[in-house]
Structure 1
Amino acid sequence: LIFVPGNNPRFLEKAKKIQADIVCFDLEDSVPDNEKTNARKLIKSALKSRKLYTSSIFVRTNSPTSGKIPSDLQEVIQKGIDGIVIPKVNNIVELKKIEKILSKLEKAKNLKPLQIIPSIESAEGVVNTYSIASFGKRISAVVFGVFDLLNDLGVEYTKESKGAKYSRTKIPVDGHAAGVAVIDAIWQDLKDVKGLEKDCKIGKSLGYTGKSIIHPDQISIVHKLFHPNKNEILWAEKVCKIYLKSTKNGTGATTVDGKMIDEVHFKQAKALLELVKQ
């Protein structure tokens, strides 16, 4: 998921060639207050050229407490948008209010229900992650926002900061329990490629299924590290083949290359192969 400043026509144009899973036009942090109106208009115009973009298109609104979401949605909800990212979601009460506005606009504009990706960026949001992630069918993923969370906790950010460790671990557990994808926080230092690679590996090991990014140069690294590699795919194929044969023979649990596998491993392997197909 890559964020693109909504008030920058050049970046919106360049986004047509970006090979990210989700291109997210931003109305929040990257857009100053005096540029919000202009950004809404530019995004509205960009959505009219939806066919020229190869990725799913989302728009990040302003936060639920900003008072700007009604204006954001009024301008950008139209044909061509796949969903919205809502930053700084604290609880489902906020989501209910937003969904009410969204539903009215969808009905008025004859649109199918759009996806919602809530961003968890506060202590309250972390506590409520499961209820937020399981709010309804619109929720396709949750995303972790580390910088605002640390600010909420009164903790200074460093690359090795442990201040968000609990939150970063809890969010994917809650997300998977709710059955949605979980997107890790951004890596801010564009020059530190090794740091990004390390951070991706940590995120994947915690259960994140993707990562937010802020520059196109980060896309290939994130795709490489989050997408199953050749050995993982071959292993998954072997597990599925042998386990299905074993269950057909009435055995169930069996071994693959000397390692015990059962239904849990089969489900993991099957899920990995489904991800590859997508």
Structure 2
Amino acid sequence: MLVRPRRSALYLPATNARALEKARTLSCDVVVLDLEDSIAPEAKAEARLAACEAVRAGGFGARELVVRINALDTPWGAADLGAVAGAQPDALLVPKLSDPEDLPAYAAALGGKTRLWGMIETCKAVLRLDALGAAAAANRMEGWILGLNDLAMEMGCRPGADRAPLQAAMSLAVTAARAHGLFVLDAVYNDFSDAEGLARECAQGVAFGFDGKSLIHPAQIAAANAAFSPDPEALAWARQVVRAFDAPESAGRGVIKVDGKMVERLHLEQAQRLIALSDAIAVREGSPE
């Protein structure tokens, strides 16, 4: 079972050369070079060039390297798409993805290893999650990242610490992602100096079923990695479930008893995925920088 850790996805402005160099040594699972929100209009061309140069230079080790471009309906989107697709990062991140009809124009430009990721950050996207998920496989799409700052602004809501007005969208995004075999990452936590708040929000993301969290500062990486790594007790239970189903007396059985509890084959699949994630994290953390 191939599982790729995406516990922590760090956004970096593509124009920040020092940050890009530092990113090659950080413990995040994903580096997202940003050409969109963090880049002023007059710096878009410079950011595009810097991102492509960073992708071609490499040196990011086992980290996935992703570039968030400007949308095709902006003055910079077409140039971003052509240049970034040519550089071939691991993935191209589309902002404000709302319609499945938008996907083919992005996917057609991609080749090689590059996949498509999408930002879910509009009201329309939330209402079309199932359609977006259904169109994913045909358009090289691997998963989604929530953009709850933009969604909250469009909704006109005031999320608060528990993000109550956004919880329906969060749950729907996870549900649709699972239905269509996609990964899904939680949104950023805006106050990078608030370690307690970040830990609380990471725990909420884990409870909702997200695969990881997007981040705005390197100081947030350790908390996200810890929260979204398999819990040791859960991992021990997963190994026990796999051993029990592997036993000769369990052959062909759909339900067995493990440590006094009834366990179904769906729990076996869950256990296998948790073990695969743990193994992938071990490989990731043991890989050379």
- Common fold by TM > 0.5: yes
State the one-letter code of the partner of 1:85.
L
CA gap 1:80/1:113 in 2 versus in 1, 3 angstroms: closer
Root-mean-square deviation (CA, aligned residues, Å) is 1.8
For 1:75, which of 64, 71, 83 is the aligned residue? 83
For 1:234, which of 229, 233, 236 is the aligned residue? 236
Between the aligned partners of 2:221 and 2:90, the Cα distance in structure 1 is: 20
- Secondary structure of the residue that 2:93 maps to in structure 1? strand
> Percent identity of the aligned residues?
27
CA gap 1:54/1:179 in 2 versus in 1, 3 angstroms: closer
State the one-letter code of the partner of 2:258.
V
State the one-letter code of the partner of 2:71.
S
Between the aligned partners of 2:20 and 2:265, the Cα distance in structure 1 is: 46
User: Is contact 1:246-1:252 (8 Å) kept?
Assistant: no
CA gap 1:77/1:230 in 2 versus in 1, 3 angstroms: same
For 2:16, which of 8, 32, 51 is the aligned residue? 8
Tell me the TM-score normalized by structure 2.
Answer: 0.87
- Secondary structure of the residue that 1:212 maps to in structure 2? strand
Corresponding residue number in structure 1 for 2:273:
271
Q: What CA deviation, in whole Å up to 9, does each residue of 1:246-274 have, x standing for no partner?
A: 76355542222222111121111111112
**Deviation at residue 53 of structure 1 after TM alignment:** 4.6
- Secondary structure of the residue that 2:118 maps to in structure 1? strand
- Alignment of 1:151 with 2:153, yes or no, is yes
Q: 1:179-218, aligned counterparts within 5 Å?
A: 179-218=181-220
Q: 1:102-121, aligned counterparts within 5 Å?
A: 102-103=109-110, 106=111, 112-121=112-121
Between the aligned partners of 1:48 and 1:89, the Cα distance in structure 2 is: 26
Tell me the TM-score normalized by structure 1.
Answer: 0.91
For 2:263, which of 256, 261, 264 is the aligned residue? 261
CA gap 1:174/1:216 in 2 versus in 1, 3 angstroms: same
Gap regions ≥5 residues in structure 2:
1-8, 281-289
Corresponding residue number in structure 2 for 1:56:
64
Between the aligned partners of 1:267 and 1:259, the Cα distance in structure 2 is: 17
For 1:46, which of 54, 58, 63 is the aligned residue? 54
State the one-letter code of the partner of 1:116.
L
Gap regions ≥5 residues in structure 1:
107-111
**Deviation at residue 134 of structure 1 after TM alignment:** 3.2
Between the aligned partners of 2:268 and 2:220, the Cα distance in structure 1 is: 32
Corresponding residue number in structure 1 for 2:6:
none
RCO higher in structure (CA 8 A, sep ≥6):
2
Corresponding residue number in structure 2 for 1:136:
136
Paired positions, count = 270
- Secondary structure of the residue that 1:78 maps to in structure 2? helix
- Secondary structure of the residue that 2:66 maps to in structure 1? strand
Moved over 6 A (4+): none
Corresponding residue number in structure 2 for 1:176:
178
Between the aligned partners of 1:247 and 1:36, the Cα distance in structure 2 is: 63
**Deviation at residue 237 of structure 1 after TM alignment:** 0.4
User: Is contact 1:50-1:80 (8 Å) kept?
Assistant: no
Moved more, 74-83 or 139-148: 74-83
Between the aligned partners of 1:268 and 1:48, the Cα distance in structure 2 is: 37
Moved more, 247-256 or 233-242: 247-256
Moved more, 223-232 or 250-259: 250-259
Corresponding residue number in structure 2 for 1:109:
none
State the one-letter code of the partner of 1:42.
A
